[in-house]
Structure 1
Amino acid sequence: MNFVECHEEPIHIPGYIQSFGYLIGIDAESYLITFFSENIRDIFTIENKESLFDKKITDLPESFQSIIESDIYKSLDTFTRRENETYFDKIFIKGTEYHFSVFRNGGQIFLEFETVLENPDKRISNKYDNFYVIDNAQDIWDQLLSTLSKIVNYDRMMIYKFMTDGSGKVIAEKRDDNMQSYLGLHYPETDIPKQARALYMKKRKRIFSNVYSETVPILSKTKQNIDLTFTASRGMSPIHGQYIKNSGASSSFSISIIIDDKLWGLVTCQNSESKHIDLEDRVQAGIFTALASNAYSSFKTKKELEYRMDLNEKSAYLKTEFLKQNSLFDSLVQNRIEIKDLAEADGLAIISDENIVRTGATPPHAIIEKIVKWAYENTNKSIYVNRSFLKEYGENLGLDKDSAGIIIYFIDRTKNEMLIWFRKEFDEHIQWAGNPEKKTDVFFHNGEEKQMVSPRTSFEVFKENIKGNSKRWSSRNTSGVQAIRDVILETSHKQYNTIKQLNDQLKKVNEELDSFSYTISHDLGTPLTVMKLNAQMLLANFDKSEKEKNKLKSIIEEIDNMAEMMHDVLQLSRAKHSEIELESLPTVHTIRKISENAKMTFESPKSEIIIKNCPEVLADKTMLHQVFLNVINNAVKYSSDQDHPRVEIEGIENDETIVYRISDNGIGIPEEEKHKMFKIFNRMDNAKKFKGNGIGLSIVHRIMKRIGGNVDYESNKDGTSFLLTFKKP
Structure 2
Amino acid sequence: MAISHPTRASDAADSPLDLTICDREPIHIPGAIQPHGLLLVASIEGDHAVVAGAGDLETRLRSDWLGQPLATLIGQEVGPLIEGLSGGLNAQMPQPIAGRDERFTVALHRSSTHLLVELEPIEADATTAAATLAWLDAVASSFERATDKTTLCARAAAAYRTLTGFDRVMIYQFLDDGAGVVVAEDRAPHLPTFLNHHFPASDIPKQARALYIRNRTRAIPTVDYTPAPLRPAGFTGVDLSDVALRHVSPIHLQYLRNMGVGASASISIVKDGLLWGLIACHNDGPRQLPAPTRSAAATLASALARQIRTKEEAAAYRERLQLRTVEDGLAPRLGNEGTLPQIIRATRDELREMLDADGLALVTRDHVEASGRCPPDAVLRAIARWVHERGNEPIATHELPALMGEKDDVLTYASGMIAMPLRQEDATLLWLRAERIEVIEWAGNPHKAPGHSAGPQANDAAALTPRASFASYVETVRGRARRWSQEQVEAAHRIRRRLFEGRQQVRLRSLNRELTRTLREKETLLAQKDVLMKEVNHRVQNSLQLVASFLRLQAKTAGPGAIADHLAEAQARLAAVALVHRRLYRDDQVESVDLSRYVEELVGDMRTSLGADWGRYLTLDLAPVLVPTDRAVNIGLILTELVINATKYAYDGAAGPLAITLEQHGGRLRLIVADDGRGRGEASGDGQGFGSRMMVAMVQRLSGTLDYHDNMPGLRAIMTAPIAEE
Q: What's the TM-score once normalised by structure 1's chain length?
A: 0.62
Matches within 5 A, 1:107-122: 107-119=113-125
In structure 2, C-alpha distance between the alignment counterparts of 1:75 and 1:356, rounded to whole Å: 74
In structure 2, C-alpha distance between the alignment counterparts of 1:380 and 1:494, rounded to whole Å: 27
For the Cα contact (< 8 Å) 2:37–2:55, is it kept in 1? no
For the Cα contact (< 8 Å) 2:352–2:431, is it kept in 1? yes
Deviation of residue 352 (structure 1)?
Answer: 2.6
Matched, 1:39 2:56: yes
Q: Does 292-301 or 241-250 show the bigger shift?
A: 292-301
For the Cα contact (< 8 Å) 2:451–2:467, is it kept in 1? no
Deviation of residue 24 (structure 1)?
Answer: 0.4
Deviation of residue 397 (structure 1)?
Answer: 7.1
What is residue 389 of structure 1 aligned with on the other side?
A: 400
* 1:478–1:211 distance in 2 versus 1, CA, 3 Å: same
In structure 2, C-alpha distance between the alignment counterparts of 1:251 and 1:191, rounded to whole Å: 17
What is residue 35 of structure 2 aligned with on the other side?
A: 19
In structure 2, C-alpha distance between the alignment counterparts of 1:474 and 1:115, rounded to whole Å: 48
In structure 2, C-alpha distance between the alignment counterparts of 1:315 and 1:475, rounded to whole Å: 16
Deviation of residue 311 (structure 1)?
Answer: 3.2
For the Cα contact (< 8 Å) 1:25–1:111, is it kept in 2? yes
What is residue 258 of structure 1 aligned with on the other side?
A: 270
Deviation of residue 390 (structure 1)?
Answer: 3.1
What is residue 421 of structure 1 aligned with on the other side?
A: 431
* 1:365–1:449 distance in 2 versus 1, CA, 3 Å: closer
For the Cα contact (< 8 Å) 2:85–2:110, is it kept in 1? yes
In structure 2, C-alpha distance between the alignment counterparts of 1:310 and 1:372, rounded to whole Å: 29
Give the counterpart of 1:208 among 199, 220, 240.
220
- Secondary structure of 1:150's match? helix
What is residue 268 of structure 1 aligned with on the other side?
A: 280
What is residue 598 of structure 2 aligned with on the other side?
A: none
Deviation of residue 82 (structure 1)?
Answer: 6.6
What is residue 77 of structure 1 aligned with on the other side?
A: 82
Deviation of residue 471 (structure 1)?
Answer: 1.6
For the Cα contact (< 8 Å) 2:140–2:300, is it kept in 1? yes
Deviation of residue 408 (structure 1)?
Answer: 1.8
Deviation of residue 256 (structure 1)?
Answer: 0.1
Deviation of residue 395 (structure 1)?
Answer: 4.4
The aligned amino acid for 2:289 is: I
Deviation of residue 470 (structure 1)?
Answer: 1.3
Deviation of residue 452 (structure 1)?
Answer: 5.7
In structure 2, C-alpha distance between the alignment counterparts of 1:368 and 1:9, rounded to whole Å: 48
* 1:163–1:220 distance in 2 versus 1, CA, 3 Å: farther
The aligned amino acid for 1:401 is: T
For the Cα contact (< 8 Å) 1:145–1:173, is it kept in 2? yes
Deviation of residue 198 (structure 1)?
Answer: 0.3
Q: What's the TM-score once normalised by structure 2's chain length?
A: 0.62
- Secondary structure of 2:361's match? strand
Matches within 5 A, 1:55-70: 55-57=68-70, 61=72, 64=73, 67=74, 69-70=75-76
- Secondary structure of 2:184's match? strand
What is residue 581 of structure 1 aligned with on the other side?
A: none
In structure 1, C-alpha distance between the alignment counterparts of 2:405 and 2:104, rounded to whole Å: 65
Matches within 5 A, 1:311-350: 311-350=323-362
For the Cα contact (< 8 Å) 1:238–1:443, is it kept in 2? no
What is residue 434 of structure 1 aligned with on the other side?
A: 444
* 1:464–1:300 distance in 2 versus 1, CA, 3 Å: same
Matched, 1:489 2:506: no
Deviation of residue 220 (structure 1)?
Answer: 5.0
Instruction: Spell out, residue by residue over 1:361-391, the C-alpha distance to the aligned partner (whole angstroms, 9 max, x if none).
Output: 1112232233333333x42142122322235
What is residue 404 of structure 1 aligned with on the other side?
A: 415
* 1:352–1:57 distance in 2 versus 1, CA, 3 Å: closer
Q: Does 130-139 or 242-251 show the bigger shift?
A: 130-139
Alignment coverage as a number of residue pairs: 481
Cα root mean square deviation, aligned: 2.9
Deviation of residue 139 (structure 1)?
Answer: 1.1
For the Cα contact (< 8 Å) 1:128–1:143, is it kept in 2? no
In structure 1, C-alpha distance between the alignment counterparts of 2:406 and 2:162, rounded to whole Å: 55
- Secondary structure of 1:432's match? strand
* 1:343–1:169 distance in 2 versus 1, CA, 3 Å: same
Instruction: Spell out, residue by residue over 1:637-687, the C-alpha distance to the aligned partner (whole angstroms, 9 max, x if none).
Output: xxxxxxxxxxxxxxxxxxxxxxxxxxxxxxxxxxxxxxxxxxxxxxxxxxx
Structure of greater Rg: 2
For the Cα contact (< 8 Å) 1:29–1:107, is it kept in 2? no
In structure 1, C-alpha distance between the alignment counterparts of 2:139 and 2:27, rounded to whole Å: 37
Instruction: Spell out, residue by residue over 1:185-217, the C-alpha distance to the aligned partner (whole angstroms, 9 max, x if none).
Output: 000001001110000000000000111011100
Matches within 5 A, 1:182-221: 182-220=194-232
What is residue 379 of structure 1 aligned with on the other side?
A: 390
Give the counterpart of 2:145 among 106, 113, 133.
133
Q: Could you list the runs of 5+ residues in structure 2 that have no partner in the other structure?
A: 1-16, 508-726
What is residue 551 of structure 1 aligned with on the other side?
A: none
Instruction: Spell out, residue by residue over 1:659-717, the C-alpha distance to the aligned partner (whole angstroms, 9 max, x if none).
Output: xxxxxxxxxxxxxxxxxxxxxxxxxxxxxxxxxxxxxxxxxxxxxxxxxxxxxxxxxxx
